[in-house]
Structure 1
């Protein structure tokens, strides 16, 4: 990985971590999920899953990345991952998606905290201690500063890693995951964007 690519990915991971801890305050990052309505000049128009449409101003420093699907088997002991999960019927955590962090981003956003992918969802950014084959997928034993978690990853859960993208990839109909800051007037300023590419949509 080149120095430029490493830096871009690392900055994205830092922003993802910041957004993970963000509160509802207007000066904190917000996660925006939806599909692109248009992109013209520096304005990205996104139709959110919630049903509303927002305009996001992209700055020169706004980073754009995409995702590449990887195999569940690619997660090994020693990998650093971010797993969004929800409690299963037995109360144990079941992954909705897993992001395998580039090595340059190891330690970013480390911990276990609430997430907004669904009711009672959580995010765990942690080191993989062990990988155990389970009936419905694989069971990851994760450790982070201050705690441990065990998460079952079904064979149907998306497993992805980050790759570079450009603004040329911001085309109508593509799914996006945007970290943006909302100003007092309601306008959004984009910090980081993860855009669908080659059929791989952001699952986070």
Structure 2
């Protein structure tokens, strides 16, 4: 199976991460790879436990560093957020085009590390997966006034960037992305990246004690997947 085909298969499976996730008993495993072979990967979880994930047809991706500059109109992203009015991004993941639609929607997520605040405590979060929408669309004409002067460069008190993320048919969220929020991207990969010591994020289904992998995301060059 090619890398792109594998990732496409993962995208289809991960469509369950929205409203249907409860029925599918999806779980998320975060930690460090202890060992791996052709069929399984054993993870020492962040909680200090050991979890063996059956790879089967799981999609495998690398998680690489990216930047806000890569988040452009039409890009499909996922972002875990805290709070409301507006929600604040704890991280942003840029999906390759082959994974567009993965987990699309807005739904509850679990507690993840807050990289935007000192101390790095875990906070309750929600997940929004959708398409970034440009904020320059023309609106109705209105009465206006003109001010001519010299521009002073400013990025706002906190340096936040506002994103509008659209999902499903009519859903949309405005999300504030602080400069401290990790920005990463998924890249197609294969089982060769499943090396001991690598940081990993896995989406699995549980059947008793058996964990079946749906997606295994491995941090590249020592990166810890922030999602």
Q: Is the 8 A contact 1:130 1:142 kept in 2?
A: no
Match of 2:163 in 1: 140
Structure with the larger strand share? 1
CA apart distance, 1:51: 2.7
Alpha-carbon separation, structure 2, partners of 1:65 and 1:34: 15
Kindly indicate whether the alpha-carbon contact (under 8 Å) linking 1:131 and 1:139 is maintained by their aligned counterparts in 2.
no
Structure 2 residue corresponding to 1:100, chosen from 94, 100, 106: 94
Q: 1:40 to 1:127 in 2, by over 3 A?
A: closer
**SS class of match (2:134):** strand
What SS is found at the alignment partner of 2:225? coil
**TM-score if structure 1 supplies the norm length?**
0.83
Is the contact between residue 36 and residue 44 of structure 1 (CA under 8 Å) also seen in structure 2? yes
Question: How many residues in Structure 1 have an aligned counterpart in Structure 2?
Answer: 196
How many angstroms apart in 2 are the aligned matches of 1:104 and 1:55? 27
Match of 1:202 in 2: 225
Q: Which structure 2 segments of 5+ residues have no match?
A: 113-122, 137-154
Please say if 1:126 is aligned against 2:149.
no
The superposition leaves residues 2-52 of structure 1 with CA deviations (integer Å, 9 ceiling, x where unpaired) of x944333332333333234422x6x53321111112224533211112332
Distance 2:58 2:104 in 1: 23
Cα separation, 1, equivalents of 2:6 and 2:63: 13
After the TM superposition, which residues 50-89 of structure 1 pair with which residues of structure 2 at under 5 Å, given as runs?
50-59=47-56, 61-87=57-83
- Which residue in the other structure is 1:175 paired with? 199
TM-score by length of 2: 0.75
- Show structure 1 runs of 4+ deviating over 6 A: none
Contact between 1:84 and 1:117, CA under 8 Å: does it hold in 2? no
CA displacement at 1:176 relative to structure 2: 0.9
On the 8 A contact 1:82/1:124 being kept in 2, the answer is yes
User: What CA deviation, in whole Å up to 9, does each residue of 1:142-164 have, x standing for no partner?
Assistant: 22223221111112212122212
CA RMSD of aligned residues (A): 2.5
Question: Do the aligned residues in 2 keep the contact of 1:98 with 1:160 (CA within 8 Å)?
Answer: yes
